[in-house]
Chain A
């Protein structure tokens, strides 16, 4: 075997591993999705469920499957994928494994926007989503402007982001303390996020937007490899470092804002999914595809667990994601001692 084919083979091994992780996560999505289609209060048989999904059979069954169960599954997958990819982009671009919309204040910006809409303006529905989107976007923009100083430095961006995270979340906590008892519960839900009410046009909009952004990420993702070698090396390899970083971060922010506007800031998906994906792929890369798939799988599983009251109460997905993802991440962290030098 010549060395040329050896290099090609090594690359194929790496690629296979990435594909394997993505395929594994897709399998999790399929299994959890099928489960979510089959189980529920209506108690449909598998046959009825499949017929319903195809638009056949009993009208009521079709309604339950096509209007209630399928949209919720699709929403969890789309929103989860968006969060997973956004987290991976943040973390690799800022070269900090903690950088995620949760820690950088973008999620809490969305929460704050929604809380203001909910309590001060008495809004609901799409208007509220718009305000959440605006909150996330505004915080991202503010971080940007304040962190920019002759280029975009990672540490600066992260520190400014953390400042906003605390600022927004303490304002949310304060609003929650001041609110009436019944309103406060609504605020609580908006701080955790849920996929139960995303359907119809809104779902189509979010799905289409996420798809477009996925495509855009695929185009810019190439510079992530050189960027991980450090700014100087990346420049020497011909990467326009500031432009690449700004591009990747803009896409990440757009993904988060879009997903958050629909589902609220589903906690920890963007933090945990890429961390899991990177450890599974383990090639020193950004693991963008694997993070996307992992985010979708994590969110869907969490929603199935939460929806069917496996925790004793029917819980919105945002409560469960941390419970599903964090133990797995902790286990990975505890067991990969040897590899982390």
Chain B
């Protein structure tokens, strides 16, 4: 098991501080979801965890070792990351794109071994895109394309997978499909998953560990049922909401109030 941890981390862009002195530990073998309003720094945090963004302060450790001191390839064998809105180069085909996930495992000349083929195949199959292997990525639908990118990260065979808004642009069914897929990955292989999500209720249902952020700091974290209260939603999003049990999963279900259409009672704590 590997353990990714942020200690007193500060991140920003050109002098503009987005995150200041933040601590976070991704629980081993669990699914963590990071939620928060736009521009609260959740994507920046994820990018920092994957060393895509330089730290202004603090450190990030993997099993106690500072990740900035690690060769990038070694890190890429342990932590996989799917950034937001990746664009495939023109003409590249599904199998080829997924094969690029093998990069950190290959030597200088990048010869593909039969092991690589097996890993790529498993990744294609477990994301349900094996039939598309020979199709150009540009011709796929949004849902298929996202699966292909996830297959690429799976082919990287890391113990930790970070995903920045993987469900954006997907319809409800494909969102669920994708989160189910990540759940299977987590349950079958024990992969630690951490993702930024916009959809609060799906985050609450699928995450073991929920991190609520606002203005560059963590407002609350823990089991969704403990964390997601109407007070926390109000504090993080500035939004009045009822929180009721999800009739399917029992996880908290956030029902926002908004300015119109409210006929029922005022929201109460709980």
A residues within 8 Å of B by Cβ? 2-8, 10-11, 14, 218-219, 222-223, 225-226, 228-230, 232-233, 235-240, 282-285, 339-341
- Docked-complex contact B108 and A3, CB < 8 angstroms: no
- Provide the bound-state CA to CA distance between A283 and B89, in Å: 9
**Cross-chain contact B121 with A236 (CB below 8 angstroms):** no
B-chain residues with CB within 8 Å of residue A222 when the two chains form the complex = 103, 106, 108-110
The 10 closest A-B pairs by CB, nearest first: A284-B92, A238-B76, A238-B73, A232-B83, A236-B81, A238-B104, A284-B91, A222-B110, A228-B89, A284-B89
In the docked arrangement, what's the CA distance between A341 and B139, Å? 8
A-B contact sample (9 more), CB < 8 A, given A4-B118, A226-B103, A228-B92:
A3-B130, A4-B121, A223-B103, A225-B100, A225-B110, A229-B88, A230-B87, A236-B80, A239-B103
Contact for A225 among B50, B103, B153, CB less than 8 A: B103
Complex contacts, A3 vs chain B, CB 8 Å: 121, 124-125, 130, 133
A5 to B117, CA, bound (A): 8
B117 touches A11 (CB 8 A): yes
Interface status of B171 (Cβ within 8 A of chain A): no
Contacts A10-B133, A235-B72, A236-B76: A284 and B93 contacting too (C-beta < 8 A)?
Answer: yes
Report the separation of the CA atoms of residues A10 and B86 in the bound assembly, to the nearest whole angstrom.
Answer: 23
- Asked if B251 is at the interface of the complex by the 8 Å CB criterion, the answer is no
Assess whether A7 is in contact with B73, with CB atoms less than 8 Å apart.
Answer: no
Q: Which residues of A contact B99 (CB under 8 A)?
A: 7, 11
The reply to whether B93 and A233 form a contact with Cβ atoms under 8 Å apart is no
Report Cα–Cα, A228/B90, bound state, in Å: 10
Give B146-158 as 1s and 0s: 1 = Cβ < 8 Å from A's Cβ atoms: 0000000100100
Question: Contact between A238 and B72 (Cβ–Cβ < 8 Å)?
Answer: yes
What residues of chain A lie closer than 8 Å to B73, measured between beta carbons?
A: 238
The complex places the Cα of A229 from the Cα of B52 at a distance, in Å, of: 14
* B-side interface size class: 35 or more
A283 touches B92 (CB 8 A): yes
Interfacial chain B residues near A5, Cβ < 8 Å:
117
Known contacts being A218-B109, A284-B90, is A229 close to B100, with CB within 8 Å? Answer: yes
Q: How far is the CB of A239 from chain B (nearest CB, A)?
A: 7
- B117/A7 in contact, CB under 8 A: yes
Known: A229-B86, A283-B93. A4 touches B76 (CB 8 A): no
Task: Tell me if B177 is interfacial: C-beta within 8 Å of chain A.
Answer: no
Instruction: Find A282's partner among B82, B91, B118, B137 (CB 8 Å cutoff).
Output: B91
**Partner-A contacts on B (CB < 8 A):** 47, 50-52, 71-77, 80-83, 86-93, 95-97, 99-101, 103-104, 106, 108-110, 112, 114, 117-118, 120-121, 124-125, 130, 133-134, 136-138, 153, 156
**Could you pull out 12 A-B pairs where Cβ atoms are within 8 angstroms?**
A4-B117, A11-B117, A218-B109, A222-B103, A226-B103, A230-B87, A236-B50, A237-B103, A239-B72, A283-B92, A284-B97, A340-B90
Docked complex Cα distance between A70 and B38 (Å): 67
Give A232 to B124 CA distance when docked, in angstroms.
Answer: 22
Q: Enumerate chain B residues within 8 angstroms of A340, measured Cβ to Cβ.
A: 90
Chain B residues in 8 Å Cβ range of A8 = 114, 117
Q: Which of A6, A238, A283 is within 8 Å of B91, CB to CB?
A: A283
Across-interface contacts of A239 in B (CB, < 8 A): 72, 103
Instruction: Determine the chain B residues whose CB is within 8 A of the CB of A10 once the complex forms.
Output: 93, 95-96, 133-134
**Contact of B104 with A341 in the complex, beta carbons under 8 Å:** no
Known: A236-B83, A284-B91, A340-B90. A7 touches B76 (CB 8 A): no
CA distance A229 to B112 in the complex (A): 19
Assess whether A235 is in contact with B91, with CB atoms less than 8 Å apart.
Answer: no
A56 to chain B, nearest CB (A): 41
Q: Is B133's CB under 8 angstroms from A6's CB?
A: yes
Question: Among A5, A14, A229, which residue has the most Cβ atoms of chain B within 10 A?
Answer: A229
Q: In whole angstroms, how far apart are the Cα atoms of A115 and B77 in the complex?
A: 52
**In the complex, what residue of chain B is closest to A232 when comparing beta carbons?**
B83
Which of B81, B96, B108, B118 has the most chain A CB within a 10 Å cutoff?
B96
Contact B88 A236, beta carbon cutoff 8 Å: no
Chain B contacts for A237, CB-based, 8 A: 76, 100-101, 103-104, 156
Measured CA separation A3–B75 after assembly (Å): 29
List of A residues within 8 angstroms of B137 by Cβ: 284
A284 pairs with B103, CB closer than 8 A: no
Question: Could you tell me the distance in whole angstroms from the C-beta of A227 to the nearest C-beta in chain B?
Answer: 10
* Closest Cβ–Cβ distance, residue B147 to chain A (whole Å): 15
Question: Which one of B74, B81, B100, B124 contacts A7 once the chains associate, using CB atoms below 8 Å?
Answer: B124
Bound-state Cα–Cα, A225 to B110, Å: 10
Q: State A299–B108 Cα separation when bound (angstroms).
A: 31
A166 to B77, CA, bound (A): 45
Question: Would A238 and B52 count as touching, CB distance under 8 A?
Answer: no
Q: How far is the CB of A299 from chain B (nearest CB, A)?
A: 26
Question: Which B residue's beta carbon lies closest to that of A228?
Answer: B89
Give the residue name and chain of the B residue nearest to A8 (CB). B117
Contacts of A225 in B (CB 8 A): 100, 103, 110
| Bound-state Cα–Cα, A23 to B52, Å | 40
CA distance A136 to B11 in the complex (A): 40
- The answer, among B50, B80, B89, B91, for a CB contact under 8 Å with A339, is B91
Complex CA gap A154/B186 in Å reads: 38
Task: Using CB atoms, name the residue of chain A closest to B130.
Answer: A3
Give Cα distance in the complex from A236 to B67, angstroms: 13
For residue A226, which residues in chain B have a CB less than 8 angstroms away from its CB? 100, 103
- Closest residue of A by beta carbon distance from B81: A236
* Cα(A218)–Cα(B108), bound, Å: 9
Contact: B92 with A285, CB < 8 Å? yes
